[in-house]
Amino acid sequence: MEGPQISIVAPLYNESESFPHLVSRLNALMDSSDLTIEVVLVDDGSRDTTPVMMQQLALTDERYHCVFLSRNYGHQTALSAGLASARATEAVMVIDGDLQDPPELLSEFYKHYQEGYDVVYAVRRQRKEGWLKRMAYHTFYRILRSISYIDIPLDSGDFSLISRRALDVLNRMPEESRYIRGMRTWIGFRQIGIPYERSGRVAGSPKYSFKMLWRLAYNGIFNFSEAPISFITRLGVFAISVAVIYLIATIIKRFVYGHVPEGFTALLFIIIWFSGVQLVALGIIGEYVLRIFFQVKGRPLFVIKDEIINGQYTASSRDPYLTKKAPQAL
């Protein structure tokens, strides 16, 4: 049986409030489109009624393909699970479950796909988050682009359309610390950016905390830049330069003024300075070692607990939460 032309992938985590709105928008899109579309919803270990609502939907509407992960793995890993599960023959569209990414842009994305582009990514012209998040995003994207060894587009998130051949390459990339938008740029092929205005959340509260955003930023910097290692070298050269300058100043004072600075102030400064340099260097090296440590374990990126395709379960395991708790109406 021939698969769908387009898969729309949306990772979900505690999105019970926005779920009815998401389904309504997706149904309207699929009903009005001439394309054959499947929607891949990935439950990233939600603790609310999101998995129940997903189950009810997938068992009654075969256009929905639902994947239930065994625990909460994080947005980027959940997105990777959805991309690996997508059955599209032509392309996959990635959106957020909170509808900040309008699925209605599929038709515009698909036009560029037909023109020969393998990746059509959305560029945010305006965001609806608070000023602190907007400033943090704006600053991070520009820092990352300036230090990255690939040309990562500015103000571009995961919202995109990816061709089947580009997706196959992306799915073969096994890195444990995922930064999808950087990986998407790295694979190459023809890519184009489409500007859009990013909406606010349709319902519920944001799931990306500053800690999670910081971790995502770390993955972007350490996975796609050589700057941290170069920073260690430059910091070492700078520290040596300071030490040499201090030594020269001490010698001049000894022979010109006839005395050398006394006391522990200078010694304490030198000890603290070089100790700080060493700790920073160890911290940066430790980030790379930590990534190597997790990568060489060879563990799977995620574990799928259950999967519903064409209105039927395909996995042998069942979650008591899904099967025993009564689904809520959409």
Residue 94 confidence (pLDDT)? 92
Q: Which is nearest to 301 in space by CA: 65, 46, 85?
A: 85
Q: Which is nearest to 10 in space by CA: 99, 95, 105?
A: 95
Q: What is the pLDDT of residues 139-188, one digit of tens each?
A: 776 776 667 767 777 777 788 899 999 999 988 888 877 888 888 888 88
pLDDT higher than threshold 70 for residue 88: yes
Residue 320 confidence (pLDDT)? 41
d(CA 237, CA 254): 26
Residue 211 confidence (pLDDT)? 64
Which alpha helices (DSSP H) does the chain contain, by range?
Answer: 19-32, 50-60, 75-85, 106-114, 131-147, 164-171, 180-186, 210-223, 227-252, 265-296, 320-324
Whole-number average pLDDT of the chain: 78
Residue 105 in contact with residue 122, Cβ under 8 Å?
A: yes
Listed by start position, the domains of the chain span 6-225+300-324, 227-296
Q: Among 28-32, 37-41, 214-218, 295-299, where is mean pLDDT lowest?
A: 214-218
Q: What is the pLDDT of residues 120-144, one digit of tens each?
A: 988 877 666 666 666 766 677 677 6
Whether pTM exceeds 0.85: no
**Tokens for 189?**
């092929």
Q: What is the pLDDT of residues 24-42, one digit of tens each?
A: 999 999 888 888 889 999 9
CATH of segment(s) 6-225+300-324: 3.90.550.10
Q: Among 47-61, 71-85, 297-311, where is mean pLDDT lowest?
A: 297-311
- How much of the chain, in percent, has pLDDT values that exceed 70? 76
Residue 162 confidence (pLDDT)? 92
Residue 115 in contact with residue 35, Cβ under 8 Å?
A: no
Residue 200 confidence (pLDDT)? 62
Side chain identity, residue 70:
S
Q: What is the pLDDT of residues 242-287, one digit of tens each?
A: 777 777 777 777 677 666 655 556 666 677 777 777 777 788 888 7
Residue 182 confidence (pLDDT)? 82
The pLDDT-based confidence of 328 (bands split at 50, 70, 90) is very low
How far CA 62 is from CA of 4, 54, 162, 297, in Å, comes to 12, 12, 23, 37
Residue 202 confidence (pLDDT)? 60
Summarize the confidence of residues 8-25 as an average pLDDT. Answer: 89
The pLDDT-based confidence of 11 (bands split at 50, 70, 90) is very high
Residue 172 confidence (pLDDT)? 87
Residue 13 in contact with residue 78, Cβ under 8 Å?
A: yes
Residue 317 confidence (pLDDT)? 45
pLDDT: is 329 or 4 the higher one? Answer: 4
Residue 18 confidence (pLDDT)? 85
pLDDT higher than threshold 80 for residue 209: no
pLDDT: is 78 or 253 the higher one? Answer: 78
The pLDDT-based confidence of 323 (bands split at 50, 70, 90) is very low
Residue 129 confidence (pLDDT)? 61
pLDDT: is 98 or 26 the higher one? Answer: 26
